[in-house]
């Protein structure tokens, strides 16, 4: 008996009512409606069309009145059984709908919206000779054709056999009437071919053979057997900056391919992707594909199709590349594994590391987590035996770590220097300029001034929609909110008392202006969210710096990691204190990592490197340990604090967030959730904290309050939280309030 009922994950179903919905399969679709196929189904009382994915088939249903599938949206299933199993796991783990989890696995070019299928594709017309090339030459030479252009086309194709029509037009100057005439005479034929739109990848000319140092070789020898293991393994590779971890990745990928397996390499920043892809494509050619959000929709869709077709064996990309439709995965590398960009901030709120663990668990092979500054969680797992730990203690070819100088900005102020560039950093930049060497400067704020205030009454310009100060951008003379995008022109005087305004602090734009004043005529490239918004702009800016078109690269966090410029011998941390005092248990970890990583950009070539750390608190433990690149001492210090706080990795931290435009309603919903959870968690080793305002308590006119659940992340705890969220969604207060849960948030 054929199975004529499909169980479907429906896009229109919210988390509160998420479950498989049964639909009958029309007779004409029985043969094609299989698990993984996307479908169009009627949903709700209005029977509005909604996209869905078939999860399984059945021959009977508990529902009495079933609706019917309206249409199939694919010729073949877009998703495989592994995808379906992963989505079910994600819905339990990350408090999302099954459809949202499935949607994260597909490229943006494949969505059904407003009754139109949003699946991009591209074809090209190819003209092919229908006669013998010698005969074509004779026809062209004897001038028996009706026009010289026809002869030119035949002569061209006699040499190559076939060619895209647009290229024929370009070379010969022919037009469509010429081609149509040749087709009518049966002298050539035209066919359509699908082509893949691919991002431009610059490869290294004549890449050198991969040669490992003794330290790298010992790591490779120990780790390589794990790639072919049927039992999943997780390894943490802790190597100092510049230790050549990428070379180990290359050798491991080479080993995985030789075993008939595939590999995924994740990087934390889009800015790092072109450089990384260039390296891997230089060694593995067209077997490499790239996936990240800065690609055009068509490029992303076509790269996904190449991967699914099996011609791609290595995928490089940012967070979402973990869902690449590769088969037989033997190796997943997460480079700079500590970075918060691996965590999604919208549903599904997954961490790429967790998804990677799932995929390796079900495929066998190796998960390699790598960093010069591993997350406290990962190092804790390594020290307690969950991960295997390997270290590389020295830089590649025993190059020395940068000499670090501390610039005390309190002393600079006493000496009359109120600018962003200390006398120490200025001196070192001047030395670099004299020696034609390059400099990277890091400040983790964009704009000109993060605060504009009245020096007389204390008025500050706050965003009308968010509980944050607005940042002044001198390029357009406007104040801008970096959370919601609201902006308005700057006032010349205080709107309250008409007093003079003070411009406090510095961002990338202000530092850029100061550099131009201090070093006139010296090229500076600025990299921040304002300069890299256009397609491929990351790669263009970095390529320009690599080619020596500028002596100074100034940027935010995107310049702190993964970049490898041989002529960079100086790094400056303009404001090392900026992230030290955030009200977040990860504040010190983030500050240590940023400083250590950016210092490590210096001295990676033949010349020794230096670094200048500018700080108002030179005696702070984090500053001192980062300047010495002493990760082990920092970890020992930090894990004591985590144990005292009961924060990760000692306990897991679930966060339940309520948002809405009515602050009273948001607080009432939080109170109800807290009461329900307190009841359900009686007798369990769970601590419930809050509700408290989020770090930024209002964004774009929506208030945000949170409950924190300190616990061990078990299925029972997750089920209680999920049940509570579903129950509270039925409360009338939730008509204007959104409630969601997340695990180990990064804000």
pLDDT for res 121: 60
Task: Report mean pLDDT in 10-residue bins for the chain, 747 residues.
Answer: 86 93 93 94 91 94 90 90 96 95 85 45 78 76 72 80 82 84 86 67 74 92 91 92 89 96 91 74 88 76 88 93 95 95 92 96 94 95 95 80 91 91 95 94 89 89 92 88 87 87 89 93 88 68 87 87 84 88 87 89 86 93 92 96 91 94 94 94 92 92 94 94 93 88 86
Write down the mean pLDDT value for the chain. Answer: 88
Cβ atoms 194, 122 nearer than 8 A: yes
Q: How far is 514 from 600, CA to CA, in rounded Å? A: 25
Report whether the peptide linkage leading into residue 649 is cis, meaning its omega lies within 30 degrees of zero: yes
Which parts of 393-513 are beta strand (E)? 403-408, 438-442, 451-454, 471-473, 478-480, 487-489, 501-504
Directed axis angle between helix 537-546 and helix 273-284, to 10°? 80
Contact residues for 305 (Cβ-Cβ < 8 A; gap 6+): 196
Report whether the peptide linkage leading into residue 691 is cis, meaning its omega lies within 30 degrees of zero: yes
Query: What pTM was estimated for this model as a whole?
Result: 0.85
- Other C-beta atoms closer than 10 Å to the C-beta of 248 total 26
Cβ atoms 625, 636 nearer than 8 A: no
pLDDT for res 2: 64
Number of residues assigned to the chain: 747
Cβ atoms 743, 349 nearer than 8 A: yes
Cβ atoms 659, 738 nearer than 8 A: yes
Q: How far is 419 from 554, CA to CA, in rounded Å? A: 16
- Other C-beta atoms closer than 10 Å to the C-beta of 179 total 20
Nearest to 185 by CA among 118, 112, 235, 131: 131
Angle at 695 between CA 694 and CA 701, to 5 degrees: 65
pLDDT for res 720: 96
CA 429 to chain centre: 33
pLDDT for res 118: 45
Under DSSP, the state recorded for 328 is: S
Question: How do beta strands 652-660 and 702-711 pair?
Answer: antiparallel
Question: How do beta strands 501-504 and 188-194 pair?
Answer: unpaired
pLDDT for res 201: 64
CA 436 to chain centre: 34
Contact residues for 258 (Cβ-Cβ < 8 A; gap 6+): none
CA 305 to chain centre: 20
Under DSSP, the state recorded for 17 is: G
């Amino acid at each position: 008996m054929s199975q004529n009922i499909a169980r479907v994950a429906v896009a229109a179903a919210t988390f509160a009512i998420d479950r498989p919905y049964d639909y009958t399969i029309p007779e004409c679709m029985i043969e094609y409606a299989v698990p993984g196929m996307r479908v169009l189904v009627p949903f709700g009382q209005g029977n509005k069309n909604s996209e869905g994915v078939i999860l399984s088939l059945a021959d009977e249903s508990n529902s009495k009145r079933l609706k019917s599938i309206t249409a199939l949206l694919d010729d073949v299933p877009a998703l495989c059984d592994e995808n379906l199993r992963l989505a079910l796991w994600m819905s339990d783990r990350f408090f999302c709908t099954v459809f949202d989890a499935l949607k994260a696995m597909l490229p943006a070019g494949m969505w059904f919206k407003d009754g139109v299928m949003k699946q991009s594709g591209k074809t090209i017309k190819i003209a092919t000779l229908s006669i013998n090339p010698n005969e074509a030459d004779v026809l062209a030479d004897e001038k028996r054709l009706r026009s010289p252009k026809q002869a030119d086309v035949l002569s061209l194709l006699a040499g190559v056999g076939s060619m895209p029509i647009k290229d024929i037009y370009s070379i010969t100057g022919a037009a469509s009437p010429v081609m149509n005439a040749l087709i009518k005479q049966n002298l050539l034929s035209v066919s359509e071919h699908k082509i893949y739109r691919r991002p431009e990848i610059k490869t290294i000319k004549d890449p050198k053979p991969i040669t490992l140092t003794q330290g790298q070789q010992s790591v490779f020898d120990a780790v390589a057997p794990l790639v072919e293991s049927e039992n999943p393994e997780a390894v943490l590779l802790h190597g100092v900056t510049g230790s050549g971890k990428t070379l180990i990745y290359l050798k491991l990928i080479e080993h995985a391919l030789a075993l008939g397996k595939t590999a995924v390499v994740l990087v934390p920043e889009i800015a790092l992707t072109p450089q990384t892809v260039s390296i891997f494509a230089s060694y593995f050619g067209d077997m490499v594909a790239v996936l990240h959000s800065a690609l055009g929709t068509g490029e992303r869709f076509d790269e996904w199709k190449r991967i699914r077709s099996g011609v791609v064996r290595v995928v490089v990309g940012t967070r979402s590349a973990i869902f690449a439709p590769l088969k037989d995965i033997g190796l997943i590398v997460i480079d700079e594994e500590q970075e918060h960009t691996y965590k999604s901030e919208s549903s599904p709120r997954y961490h790429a590391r967790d998804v990677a663990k799932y995929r390796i668990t079900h495929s066998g092979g190796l998960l390699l987590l790598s960093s010069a500054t591993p997350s406290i969680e990962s190092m804790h797992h390594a020290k307690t035996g969950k991960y295997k730990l390997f270290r590389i203690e020295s830089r590649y070819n025993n190059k020395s770590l940068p000499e670090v100088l501390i610039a005390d900005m309190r002393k600079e102020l006493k000496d009359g220097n109120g600018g962003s560039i200390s006398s120490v950093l200025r001196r070192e930049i001047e030395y670099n300029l004299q020696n034609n060497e390059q400099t990277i400067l890091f400040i983790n704020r964009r704009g000109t001034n993060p605060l504009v205030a009245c020096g007389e009454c204390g008025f500050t310009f706050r965003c009308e929609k968010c509980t944050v100060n607005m940042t002044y951008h001198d390029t357009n003379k406007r104040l801008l909110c970096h959370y919601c995008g609201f902006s308005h022109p700057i006032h010349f005087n205080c709107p309250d008392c008409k007093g003079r305004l003070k411009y406090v602090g510095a961002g990338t734009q202000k530092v850029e202006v100061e550099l131009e004043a201090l070093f006139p005529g010296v090229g500076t490239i600025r990299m921040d969210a304002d300069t890299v918004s256009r397609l491929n702009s990351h790669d263009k800016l970095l390529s320009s710096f690599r080619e020596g078109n500028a002596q100074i690269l100034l940027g935010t966090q995107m310049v702190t990691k993964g970049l490898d410029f041989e002529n960079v011998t100086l790094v400056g941390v303009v404001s090392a204190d900026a992230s030290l005092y955030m009200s977040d248990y990860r504040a010190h970890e983030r500050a240590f990592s940023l400083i250590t990583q950016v210092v490590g950009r210096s001295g990676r070539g033949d010349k020794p490197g230096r670094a200048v750390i500018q700080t108002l608190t030179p005696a702070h433990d984090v500053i001192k340990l980062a300047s010495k690149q002493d990760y082990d001492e920092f970890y020992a210090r930090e894990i004591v604090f985590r144990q005292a706080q009961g924060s990760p990795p000692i306990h897991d931290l679930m966060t339940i967030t309520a948002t809405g435009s009515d602050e009273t309603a948001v607080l009432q919903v939080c109170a109800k959730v807290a009461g329900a959870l307190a009841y359900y968690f009686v007798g369990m080793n769970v601590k419930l904290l809050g509700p408290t305002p989020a770090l930024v308590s209002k964004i774009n006119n929506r208030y945000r309050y949170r409950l924190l659940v300190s616990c061990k992340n078990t299925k029972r705890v997750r089920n209680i939280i999920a049940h509570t969220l579903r129950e509270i969604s039925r409360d009338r207060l939730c008509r204007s309030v959104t409630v969601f849960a997340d695990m180990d948030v990064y804000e």
